[in-house]
Chains A and B, each alone.
Chain A
Amino acid sequence: MKILVPIKRVVDYNVKIRVKADQSGVELANVKMAMNPFDEIAVEEAVRLKEAGKATEIVAVSAGVAQCQETLRTAMAIGADRGILVESDVELQPLAVAKLLKALVDKEQPQLVILGKQAIDDDSNQTGQMLAALLGWPQATFASKVEVGGDGVQVTREIDGGLETLALPLPAVITTDLRLNEPRYATLPNIMKAKKKPLETVKPAELGVDVAPRLTTLKVVEPAARSAGIRVGDVAQLIDKLKNEAKVL
């Protein structure tokens, strides 16, 4: 079974982002970039399926600027076999990415697509569901457990009230939640090996996809800052403040 793992290059999750003074967006120049953490979980899950003999090949895919090659190398250092970059300097929104991925799925014919449930930059939480829709495939979002067996896959999902388990026929799309696994660190030998793995680059036009944005960002601002309040000395003072000042008790 072949698995396709789409990954996104985002601002590293440890970076405190800054809004640009002209309100046009978030400052990305000279900011540390990394693989979206949920996508890292997706790569790890695919690698575990391969190690367990359930998968034969893992293809990592990214869409975006040329530097996404580095992110693909990271995926290959974790264990992906090869990479495909859909190179574009245009802002790629979830619908456009889903269309690009559909074109690659049509070409590569994987049985499973595993990707992060959301990217930590735009927090959209759309791409996996959109891809499943365009392909007409079943989906299991927010996965915390994946078991491949027979001709299907059983996925446990994190939902608002608790957990839900679905059985899906293959092919299918799975999006990952935080507790699916803990991704390994890439070892130095594997980082070196990843440099020699095949990485192909294509353009959106070659895939016949119109990636023009549908949403225009008019402005980006910082939210109203919440200022620190006061320190209370003890429990009695806390209760007094909550009753008489905040009036929430």
Chain B
Amino acid sequence: MPILVIAEHDNAGLKAATLNTVSAAARLGADIEVLVAGSSCAAAAQAAAQLAGVAKVKVADAAAYAEQGAENLAALLVGLVQAGGYSHVLAPATTYGKNVLPRVAALLDVAQISDIVAIESADTFVRPIYAGNALATVKSSDAVKVITVRTTAFDAVGTGGSATVEAVAAGPDLAQSKLVGRELTKSARPELGAAKIIVSGGRGLGSGDAYRSVLEPLADKLGAAMGASRAAVDAGFVPNDYQVGQTGKIVAPQLYLAVGISGAIQHLAGMKDSKVIVAINKDPEAPIFQVADYGLVADLFEAVPQLVAAL
């Protein structure tokens, strides 16, 4: 039985999280179909067709999916899954996937397995619980496995595929929730979830101005994405989408530079799978040093400019 992956996209192209989700699906060893539901989303569908290992791309192109509302998407998906005989339905564990997929699972009357980090077999998966302080291996007894994938746990799939692209009929337009507006952070920097290097700041920076004046030159020099601890976001230094942690973004870059971050358990949950962690903090007792590969006990307002000058 085939596997259905729900693509996260912006109509023009795929979000990076989709590539990791296809990679997770490939571990299950069955034909992979990708659903692209959007409005004028042919370009995203073409991108999906080029992913390695994808057998078929299904496209639902309709105004009902322009806003990517959970109600319409779930209604479409339930119909497709019931008709298509899929064994697994996968979506990335991003705010997009988390919003839509439980709705699909409930309508199919199956459990959802959230945020998987490993696949043991077709029905057994590993997922973090308690902010990643424990790993649970769970087995599903449901006919269809509905799964969200922790993108940092699976490599992005490459291109080179040439899947067939097939249009599918749109589902009903339930016209329930209506989009009023979006305020998206515009940035020329890499996306947090896909960045190789992340420069992240915490309460130690003291203000939004200091966050920008101290950390932006470092991020510029390294070509890094910028993140923050919950404390920095709550204090209004930066917008919510900068937050790394249990309830924010989960990241695993090659290099994570934690500047002025104490290292609360909820923050560590979001970044402890990074390859190399550097902590700069003036408090030698800060918990961040317990997970850092390289710790520098120093005043960040002196150390970071020195770092920028020396790079």
A residues near B (Cβ < 8 Å) are 11, 13, 16-17, 19, 26, 93-95, 98, 117-118, 120-134, 137-142, 144, 154, 157-169, 172, 177-179, 214-223, 226, 228-232, 234-236, 238-239, 241-242, 246, 248-249
Of all chain A residues, the one with the shortest Cβ separation from B148 is A125
Per-position contact with A for B228-239: 1 when CB-CB < 8 Å, else 0?
001001100001
| B43 interface contact, C-beta 8 A | no
On whether the beta carbons of A242 and B102 are closer than 8 Å, the reply is: no
What distance in Å separates the Cβ of A211 from its nearest Cβ neighbour in chain B?
12
Summed over the interface, the residue pairs from A and B with CB atoms below 8 Å come to a total of: 249
Query: Which residues from B are CB-within-8-Å of A128?
Result: 102
Query: Which residues from A are CB-within-8-Å of B185?
Result: 161-162
CA distance A236 to B222 in the complex (A): 16
| B135 interface contact, C-beta 8 A | yes
On whether the beta carbons of B133 and A17 are closer than 8 Å, the reply is: yes
On whether the beta carbons of A235 and B310 are closer than 8 Å, the reply is: yes
Of all chain B residues, the one with the shortest Cβ separation from A177 is B247
Instruction: State which size class the interface on B falls in.
Output: 35 or more
Query: Which residues from B are CB-within-8-Å of A169?
Result: 176
Pick the 6 closest A-B CB pairs, nearest first: A138-B176, A229-B293, A129-B102, A130-B106, A214-B111, A126-B102
Q: Given A26-B130, A248-B254: A118 and B247 within 8 A (CB)?
A: yes
On whether the beta carbons of A235 and B306 are closer than 8 Å, the reply is: yes
Of all chain A residues, the one with the shortest Cβ separation from B274 is A226
Query: Which residues from B are CB-within-8-Å of A231?
Result: 289, 294-297
On whether the beta carbons of A130 and B105 are closer than 8 Å, the reply is: yes
CA distance A231 to B295 in the complex (A): 5
What distance in Å separates the Cβ of B93 from its nearest Cβ neighbour in chain A?
8
On whether the beta carbons of B134 and A130 are closer than 8 Å, the reply is: no
| B95 interface contact, C-beta 8 A | yes
Query: Which residues from B are CB-within-8-Å of A123?
Result: 114-115, 128-131, 246
On whether the beta carbons of B246 and A248 are closer than 8 Å, the reply is: no
- From A95, A122, A142, A144, B129 is in contact (CB under 8 Å) with A122
Query: Which residues from A are CB-within-8-Å of B272?
Result: 226
- Supply 11 A–B pairs (Cβ within 8 Å), ascending by A: A11-B130, A19-B134, A93-B111, A126-B105, A129-B103, A131-B106, A159-B241, A162-B240, A165-B182, A228-B291, A249-B222
On whether the beta carbons of B290 and A228 are closer than 8 Å, the reply is: yes
Query: Which residues from A are CB-within-8-Å of B278?
Result: 238, 242
Q: Given A120-B130, A220-B136, A223-B135: A178 and B180 within 8 A (CB)?
A: no
Of all chain B residues, the one with the shortest Cβ separation from A222 is B134
Query: Which residues from A are CB-within-8-Å of B291?
Result: 226, 228
Query: Which residues from B are CB-within-8-Å of A229?
Result: 277, 292-295
CA distance A140 to B100 in the complex (A): 11
Of all chain A residues, the one with the shortest Cβ separation from B17 is A160
What distance in Å separates the Cβ of A93 from its nearest Cβ neighbour in chain B?
6
| B99 interface contact, C-beta 8 A | yes
CA distance A217 to B157 in the complex (A): 29
On whether the beta carbons of B107 and A95 are closer than 8 Å, the reply is: no
Pick from B23-31, B137-145, B158-166, B203-211 the stretch touching chain A: B137-145
- From B71, B135, B137, B255, A249 is in contact (CB under 8 Å) with B255
Query: Which residues from B are CB-within-8-Å of A177?
Result: 240, 247
| B113 interface contact, C-beta 8 A | yes
Query: Which residues from A are CB-within-8-Å of B69?
Result: 166
On whether the beta carbons of B102 and A162 are closer than 8 Å, the reply is: no
On whether the beta carbons of A95 and B178 are closer than 8 Å, the reply is: no
| B1 interface contact, C-beta 8 A | no
On whether the beta carbons of B110 and A214 are closer than 8 Å, the reply is: yes
Query: Which residues from A are CB-within-8-Å of B222?
Result: 249
CA distance A11 to B134 in the complex (A): 13
Of all chain A residues, the one with the shortest Cβ separation from B269 is A123
Q: Given A223-B128, A248-B276: A124 and B112 within 8 A (CB)?
A: yes
- From B179, B234, B254, A166 is in contact (CB under 8 Å) with B179
Q: Which of B134, B239, B298 has the most CB of A within 10 A?
A: B134
Query: Which residues from A are CB-within-8-Å of B96?
Result: 159-160
Q: Which of B102, B135, B246 has the most CB of A within 10 A?
A: B102
